[in-house]
Structure 1
C-alpha cells in the first residue's frame, strides 16, 4: 500500500505572508497540528506546527505581526504519493515527525500522518514503531 491510498488530499496551505494568528486560527478550525506553507503555485516552502508557534513566537515574546515565513520550519521532510507506507513510517520515525507533506512534481498534493497509518490494521506495527522513534528524546531531558 502506498501513501496515496491513505493520505489526506484536501489540505490547507498558508501563504508565506499569512499572520501567525491566522495560521493558529486555521489549525483550530481544521483540528490539525501543522499547516504547510506554500507559495502561490502550491510549491512547499516550509511547515508550521503548533510547537513552532509556541517555541518561535510565544516563548520568545515575538512581535504580534509575525508571519508564517518567519516561524515555519524550512527543512521539510516529505514523501511522494507512490512512497510505500513502510517507507513513510520509517521516515517519520527517523526524522521524529508525525506528519509528512506529500509532494508530486514539486507541488503539495496531500499530507500523511501517523494517524493515517495507525487506522489501517495492516500497518499498526509500523505506526507504533514510528511513534516510538518519534517519541524518543533526541537529547537528554533535564
Structure 2
C-alpha cells in the first residue's frame, strides 16, 4: 500500500506574498527554521518558491537591498509541485529527478502542504524512497587540493 502525501506532508505551511521583501522572507525562514517558502499572489495562488539559496545568490551576492521584492529573486518558472494524492514513492522520484529537497503540495492552485526529504526519511516505511532521492540529489563533496 502506498502512502499519499496528504498523510505525511506538513500542512502548516508558511507562504509569502510576491510583493513582500527579501528581508521579510529571510525573517520568516529564520523564525521558523525553514529553508524555502512558497510564494503566492493576492488570490493565494502559488506563483513561485523562494529558498535561502535564492536569497543568498540572487539578492545578497548581487548587492540587492533588503526591501527587494521576492518576485525578483524567486523561482517562478517550472515550479515543481506535488498533489495531495501523490504517493511517497512518486514524490521521492520527482524530488530525485528535479534535484530538490522540498516539494510544495498544491491543490487547485493553493498551497496545502510541503513535503521535505526528511518527511520521507522519518517514517521507516519510506527509507528506500528517501535514500533513493537523497542519493540522486546530493553529490558528496571532495576536499579541494
Q: Tell me the TM-score normalized by structure 1.
A: 0.93
Size of the aligned set, in residue pairs, is: 137
Stretches of structure 2 lacking an aligned partner (at least 5 in a row): 141-145
Of the candidates 108, 112, 117, which is equivalent to residue 115 of structure 2? 112
1:48-59 equivalence runs, <5 A = 48-59=50-61
1:1-142 equivalence runs, <5 A = 1-74=3-76, 75-136=78-139
Deviations 1:4-40 (A, max 9, x none): 0100111111001111011000001111000010012
Q: Tell me the TM-score normalized by structure 2.
A: 0.91
Deviations 1:51-97 (A, max 9, x none): 00011011111233211111101121001000010000000000000
Partners of 1:30 and 1:65 lie apart in 2 by 20
Across the aligned residues of Structure 1 and Structure 2, the Cα RMSD in angstroms comes to 1.1
Stretches of structure 1 lacking an aligned partner (at least 5 in a row): 138-142
Q: Please state how far the C-alpha of 1:42 moved relative to its aligned partner.
A: 1.6
Q: Please state how far the C-alpha of 1:136 moved relative to its aligned partner.
A: 3.5
Partners of 1:103 and 1:64 lie apart in 2 by 29
